[in-house]
């Protein structure tokens, strides 16, 4: 995987994280972070396509009560 492909995938993951937050009824990443005991800056990084640990992704899927398979549904 090239660096460009990696960046594109991370941005796609970040967009999915943001979409889940918005679907959950949160307009603000800060409020979502506060309600789920996450640092707001960390939430912003995740949504921006920051390269993070798999354990962070597992935390996100647990908050939204979805599986990793559901998270990556529709990814190519």
pTM, 2 dp:
0.91
60 located within any domain: yes
pLDDT at position 18 over 90: yes
CA distances from 23 to 5, 27, 32, 37 (A): 27, 9, 11, 19
Q: Which residues contact 44 (CB under 8 A, 6 or more apart)?
A: 29
pLDDT digits over 31-56, tens only?
999 999 999 999 999 999 999 999 99
> Average pLDDT for residues 45-72, to the nearest whole number?
95
Is residue 44 one of the residues assigned to a domain? yes
For residue 44, give its domain range: 3-71
The answer to whether residue 76 sits within a structural domain is: no
Q: How far apart are the first and last CA of the chain?
A: 14
CB contact at 8 A, 32 and 24 = yes
Whether residue 9 lies inside any domain: the answer is yes
> What CATH number did the domain enclosing 31 receive?
1.10.260.40
Give domain status of residue 10, yes or no: yes
* Domain assignment present for 57: yes
Number of domains into which the chain is organized: 1
pLDDT(17) > 90: yes
């Amino acid at each position: 995987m090239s660096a460009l492909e990696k960046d594109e995938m991370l941005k796609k993951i970040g967009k999915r994280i943001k979409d889940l937050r918005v679907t959950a009824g949160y307009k603000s990443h800060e409020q979502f972070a506060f309600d789920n005991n996450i640092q707001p800056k960390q939430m912003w990084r995740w949504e921006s396509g920051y390269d993070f640990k798999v354990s962070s992704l597992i935390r996100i899927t647990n908050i939204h009560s979805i599986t990793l398979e559901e998270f990556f549904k529709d990814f190519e």
